[in-house]
Chain A
């Protein structure tokens, strides 16, 4: 049994475990399907259960049950031994350290999605139909494949600081020195550092915005564009009066999707500053409280907070899906 659980440090053992895990899974699924298939005149429930059951069991065990547990935890003290009412929430909304965290998160969610969408849109419009379109788009698209950890390393190197007396190795400080300034410890400067961390996320997400917006710009019916042109619209007028209104649904999707990613941003803050120097956000503080400070109650309250913030978006999404469903 132990052999099946832990592979220790042996790579061969790890690969064997991986194969066993997949084989075990295939065997279970095959068994379910064979049972469903063998039964003569099965009821609809039986078939539906066989197909959708595994997913529902996993969702119940992996999302519903633990989410309920976290909500209960958020009203308990640090080790869950007694209920303390709303104290965790009160603390999160009153202590200066946590207010800073909340403020930073709000700043992230307001600034990063807007900038990523704006840059993605501008770039999509500017390179559209140019000779280098494919290549130019690939350049901005590529960071989407890079992990937030990898991207953070890339940007930390750009922000690298060396004292004025020696040669700079970070590009940004070198540019400042070339322009006659003196080098800055970028990651220590508040509130500049939060914005510099945002750059990493914007850098990753702009490709996403560009792809979606570019596709929806192409989908604008040509007769609308023609009619507008006959009315004498061109350039920026066309952009504001025709392009933007036509792609509004896509803009909303892009903004909310990036905002949801931004809200949960953890990797970048963890890798760049570990939340020090006044850069922490809710998702990082959740990790810090839950797994470093061993304050499960407060950590749970922060997780619930994240959840409460996304509820309006969930409701909006469901409503949009219902509308799309009716159109079909």
Chain B
């Protein structure tokens, strides 16, 4: 498990002597039985549901129907518990579910829907931060304000436009929609990071005769890797986990995992052997990405919300 330490600015770290004192008071705080109990209860409520479904996904269908997942511990003790990947096999490859096809769709949707908005937003953020043009501030405020506009307000006319051009039901409207919806947050976030780059660096490059395109690629881009990673994780989680856009803009040939699993929850709500395995098939990729890049995610979270 990687770190959860939030990336706090250096000034936030208290001096050592104080650290000791804080540790002492914290210890006092934690020896209070109430505080420990609260911590344990919250930790349990936040993990047991996932854990229960995870165990269930490895149990035979008949067992899932007959008894609760917590009985496996007693069974295992008696040497009776049976675990297998059978549910995953059924969920992925059985023709009635064939989640593998939807897994492919999730992947095919996500990659361009992360790459395109980041690129567009990087260029725009550069312009807002380093090119001095008239109306810049008012434009930036407009983009910033768009961040929390509910995308519901755009869906019907957008879909109508896609139908008009004949690209509805393919991947193109999904890629386009995700790219457009992501821009306000992407521009704002990347702009925040970009403005923290010392202007002397940009000035020096300009004195050397570099144009904006050269400055962007040679000076700015290499320094922005952490910021790009931070937003890439946001956008990845958003697109991979999205239900609404994929459901409205897509068709049977483009539906991602989320759409299929929400559908299974409705039509086969009692088939927990398929649902449990299916849920984890859809969770596993974001979980891996999230755990391995958590540091960047937290940084983006702090930059995006606290500053604004």
Contacts and interface: CB of A to CB of B under 8 A. Distances in A.
Contact of B153 (A48, A66, A153, A254): A66
A157 B52 contact: yes
Interface in A296-311: 296, 299-300, 302-304, 306-307, 310
Contact of A149 (B12, B123, B128, B258): B258
Interface string B1-45: 101111011011111001000110111011000011011001101
Interface in A262-294: 263-264, 266-267, 270-272, 274, 283, 286-287, 290-291
A254 B126 CA distance: 28
Interface SS majority for chain A: helix
B39 A123 contact: yes
Interface string B259-293: 00110011001001001101100110011011100
A14 B150 contact: no
A206 B148 contact: no
Given A59-B183, A150-B282, A274-B266, A171 B149 contact: no
Given A9-B253, A70-B156, A212-B302, A267 B8 contact: no
A126 B308 contact: no
Interface SS majority for chain B: helix
A136 B153 CA distance: 39
A46 B286 CA distance: 40
A15 interface: yes
Interface stretch (A82-90, A94-102, A106-114, A140-148): A140-148
Contacts, number: 375
Chain A: interface size category: 35 or more
Chain B: interface size category: 35 or more
A316 to B, nearest CB: 10
Interface stretch (B77-85, B165-173, B197-205, B224-232): B165-173
A139 to B, nearest CB: 5
Contacts of B127: 47-48, 51-52
Nearest to B167: A5
B181 A215 contact: no
Interface string A3-16: 00111110100110
A7 B48 contact: no
Nearest to A199: B45
A245 interface: no
Contacts of B307: 324
A8 to B, nearest CB: 6
Given A22-B112, A55-B120, A310-B148, A219 B9 contact: yes
A208 B304 CA distance: 12
Contacts of A45: 133
A18 B153 contact: no
Contact of B26 (A130, A306, A317): A130
B67 interface: yes
Given A126-B39, A215-B12, 20 more contacts: A5-B167, A5-B172, A7-B253, A47-B212, A51-B126, A55-B121, A62-B158, A62-B180, A66-B155, A146-B287, A147-B243, A174-B70, A253-B306, A260-B148, A266-B243, A267-B243, A306-B150, A307-B153, A317-B144, A317-B148
Question: What are the 7 closest A-B residue pairs judged by CB atoms, nearest first?
Answer: A62-B180, A69-B157, A147-B241, A129-B26, A145-B290, A55-B124, A51-B127
